[in-house]
Structure 1
């Protein structure tokens, strides 16, 4: 007898409107609507879909990228904020769960950003907010390190959903932390490309093969389904990079493009796969298929030795300062009849 849901899932294999958070948010809403029309219950977006993945950090030294960093910060989004609210409203209106990759802007620093992923429920609530634990390789030139607060699995009507960002799927402890919460659907989000070498040097990191291996390994170990969602480099993004420096054309053109696909609890591919073309990939998950493989090896159940191994996870959100003592009182008006100052846009301040 079936006891777990059957779920239609979607991986949005799409390019952002490069470094434009407002336009990319509107594109994301359109894609959510399209996926919902095709029956998707869970819709996943790529790594930092809003506003883009900073490929340029791999191509040029940081002394040449100050303007791009400033633009990236300006188009990173706050949580909560208007862009997230727009996505949440669409999820609620359509009754779908959305996994969304964003570059997140700090409220206490003008230049601190994180590589983050949000899981938004079908009622528009924020089910999980994860910041990438460690930016990988050249990503350290862009993003700050995250923390363990987002190492959580959300119990939804469509199954128990967790996720990790890009290279985090190489971290066995982070993956086990999600397995140990009964994860049934694992979302892994990825960039459109990940260059590591000049083509003439050979041996460029095979991101496509690596992502397949990591997704299949996690699915097999967790006995869970996997959504692999990579971004897409469209012509506008390619031209932006090459027009800035024609010498990078060979690197950009010969680095493997990301793949969006799905895997079942055995690690086998299921559903659609997209790489060369922008679009939405779909698959149908019968979560009852997560049960039988647990008989073989359940690493969070009988197939472990908790008397031998133990894992502790610190979930506190990192903050720059811990305050103590009474709150400071609000400043009183200097004059009883003082009028509230006018803001530049004509509105009055609170």
Structure 2
């Protein structure tokens, strides 16, 4: 069988959330998906925790002052079946594009446990992959729970083999290698708008822009993949909401290095515009055949490795709070699942018919 190498246009949305409002953020996402699709994009990537916004407040003041922010974030957290996610899935289906979406995820098992998650949506509106960030980074531990490896996967699609990692996971060599070892061709990296670790006036403050450049270039070069980077953006509403609680935080927000959005090729060269200081969509033409030639030089999941020396084992089992044995009183979930799928199809049909 002849191997084919897909070619397509990718889009990364360098954009702000409608801060702590999942419904309005989903509406904004739909507008951006429509714009990117009209420009010919087959894959549209959104930033980390885009839905409903990144909890940067955890870096800016003591946790004893952040309870209201946490309650607001939990109230807007989305499960996979919730309305904001469904709205974006319908937009992906309506425009026939793949969508990578960062969101804060809730659960029926707890009223206060949330995850930093990402889903890959197919052009038919289906969820192709669902990943929870393995370890929240630094102050994010005050907000999000540890994830698991259920979504540490590469999804085979008509536009190539797509993998995705969230922010600091792109520094984790084993997580990155796990995706390389599944034949990844296109990588999606999602980041926040800012990530302060010190007052900007102090030496040693974290430079998010430079960190993204290093991580994105390293993975593109080592994996021989295209790396699509989507970072968030601080708009006036987000700035004002956080500043209304702590005016001193505004100096840090205003002077911390911004996240950047860009696309790199398998040699780590930038092949798109780079956005940092204003919102927009960047585009890049992807030819997955370009992943092949560099593999001759360093194929770290092929002949440039020593599998007799190194061994990686990944446990993908979901980490659930409890496991319940079924008894006669339990309802068989299969009919309910089929009914939910049928309802989704009917909803998609109605929406498409109305457009």
TM-score, normalisation: structure 2: 0.91
Partner of 1:41: 42
Three-state SS of the structure 1 residue aligned to 2:12 is: strand
Equivalent residue for 1:247? 248
1:130 aligns with 2:134: no
Indicate the residue corresponding to 1:105 in structure 2.
106
Shift of 1:202: 2.2
Once the two structures are TM-superposed, the CA of residue 327 in structure 1 deviates from its matched residue by: 4.7
The equivalent of 2:336 in structure 1 is none
Distance 1:58 1:116 in 2: 20
State the Cα distance separating 1:250 from its structure 2 match.
1.4
How far off its partner does 1:167 sit? 0.3
The within-5 A match list for 1:131-280 is 131-280=132-281
Give the drift of 1:199: 2.5
**Residues matched between the structures, number:** 330
Q: What is the match of residue 340 of structure 1?
A: none
Q: Aligned partners of 1:243, 1:297: CA distance in 2, in Å?
A: 51
- The structure number with the bigger radius of gyration is 1
CA deviation profile, 1:281-301 (whole Å, cap 9, x unmatched): 111111110000000011111
1:206-264 CA distances to partner (integer Å, 9 max, x unpaired)? 11111111011001111000001100111111122222211112111110011000111
- The runs of at least 4 aligned residues of structure 1 exceeding 3 Å deviation read 327-330
Once the two structures are superposed, residues 276-319 of structure 1 have per-residue CA deviations (whole angstroms, 9 ceiling, x without a partner) of 11011111111110000000011111111111111000001110
Cα distance, 1:323 vs structure 2: 1.9
Which whole-Å deviations, capped at 9, do the CAs of 1:12-32 have from their partners, x for residues lacking one?
001010000110011100110
C-alpha contact (below 8 Å) 1:29/1:87 kept by paired residues:
yes
In structure 2, the residue matched to 1:337 is none
Q: Which residue of 2 aligns with 1:52?
A: 53
**SS of match in other structure, 2:201:** helix
Deviations along 1:57-78, whole A, 9 cap, x unmatched?
0001111000110000001111
Report SS of the residue matched to 1:246.
coil
Counterpart mapping for 1:306-317 below 5 A? 306-317=307-318
**Root-mean-square deviation (CA), in Å?**
1.3
Task: Give secondary structure in 2 for the equivalent of 1:324.
Answer: coil
Distance in 2 separating the partners of 1:200 and 1:69: 28
Structure-2 residue corresponding to 1:348? none
Classify 1:325/1:244 alpha carbon distance in 2 versus 1 (closer, same or farther; 3 Å): closer
Contact persistence 1:2–1:288 (CA under 8 A): no
What's the counterpart of residue 342 of structure 1? none
Q: Is the 8 A contact 1:96 1:121 kept in 2?
A: yes
| Superposition pairs of residues 39-118 of structure 1, within 5 angstroms | 39-118=40-119
User: In 1, Cα distance between the equivalents of 2:330 and 2:295?
Assistant: 57
Partner Cα distance (2:253, 2:301) in 1: 42
**Which segment is superposed worse, 242-251 or 106-115?**
242-251
Match in the other structure for 2:33 = 32
Q: How far, CA to CA, are the matches of 1:284 and 1:2 in structure 2? A: 20
Distance in 1 between the 2:329 and 2:60 partners?
Answer: 48
State the shift of 1:114 in Å: 0.3
Greater mean deviation of Cα atoms: 317-326 or 68-77: 317-326
SS at match of 1:304: coil
The structural deviation recorded for 1:83 is 1.4
- Runs of 5+ consecutive residues of structure 1 not aligned to the other structure: 331-350
Secondary structure at the aligned position of 2:220 is classed as: helix
Unaligned 5+ residue runs, structure 2? 332-355
